[in-house]
A and B are shown apart, each in its own frame.
Chain A
Amino acid sequence: MTDIFEHTIEARGLTKSYEGHLAVDALDLVVRPGRVLGLVGPNGAGKTTSMRCMAGIIPPTSGRVTIAGHDLIDEPLAAKGRLAFVPDTPHLFDYLTVEEHLRFMGRIHQLPEVDERIDALLAEFELADRRRHLPGALSRGMKQKLAITIGFLHDPSAIFLDEPLTGLDPLGIRRMREAIALRAREQAAAVIVSSHQLELVEAICDEILIMKNGRSVVQGSLDDIRAQLDGLPENPRLEDIFFRLTEIREDGPSEEPVG
């Protein structure tokens, strides 16, 4: 069962630098159970690096990340046992079939009754007739679905989705949106979705965090952000806010955090 905490995903002062380049600069964010946070920003803003740090793929240079109350550095197994990360480009084991991927990850997570879970997930993501296929025989969209299925296998409390809709067909996109909403609503999972598809983010996310140059420019619900900004058009969309906060303007870059 999903653990309930005040903040399922919490990052404090998350900083990551590579060979002198500051990719993420003192990022603070919280995602409560059942909430979906949209992480948006221009290319190179540090979204993927932030997600990778929060998912335990790479260690942060400084700062702390807790998943369902477990510190990612001090209690890595407890924290990682409750999270899922779905990358923007699915990379899979070349010589494991669809079903074997799920069985393997099921064993890693020590899941009981894995057969029922696998059947249900394969049906949900329309992969049931591909269960014996190797990744080489799958389309880009199907690989993406398999990566998502692997992530959802252990009913994670914290879900990190990096560009989850890339390569999916319209039906797949609809299913994916429903799946995210279902995990948040019924399983109280905290979800972070990184995407350039601002309409999707606007539609499925409860809160938005806009990043630029590794820093958080603004965070909050869309209404809160609208209220914080002056000079926006009437009924501004996320797209208007995004360009307002990330574009280089005549009077210089708008890098100062808002609010």
Chain B
Amino acid sequence: MTKINESPSRAGKKVYLTAQGLADAKAELEFFKNTKRTQVAELIHQAREYGDLAENSEYDAALEEQAMIESRISELENILKGAKVISEKHTEDFVVIGSTVKIEMDDGIDEFTIVGRVEADPSKKRISNESPLGSSLIGAKKGEVVEVATPIVRYKCKVLEIK
């Protein structure tokens, strides 16, 4: 299952997700609401029974876990509120969110899929559409050379293939 991440500062904005990503986010939300909430409530209840809450490390740990669960639930709810599913069928004429692209850049050849920010994981070849590389490639055609730049680095990137 893909770990769907969302920064709090981006809450409420449009979130691009693959169909699988959307299903994963829904499943995770359900799991957190229906299973994890109950589990942590039980842990808190048990920890209370150990007595003295001021010096009760089990109680503190359970409260911490509860806070993490609630934060994740809120994050997932925000993601699903702004979710826009990326069509599985897309054009190969130019790069769109969901395209798998093969590029040549900085003496190397690389291939990755452009996804929404919450599903991005460069180590799994999924690059965010909002990253400098992803945003520069959106709209590029096969054979086109685009410039990718940040305040420090500047590269020429050639689109070799779009799938």
**Do A and B share a complex?**
no
Binding site for A on B (CB under 8 A): none
Q: Interface of A with B (CB < 8 Å)?
A: none
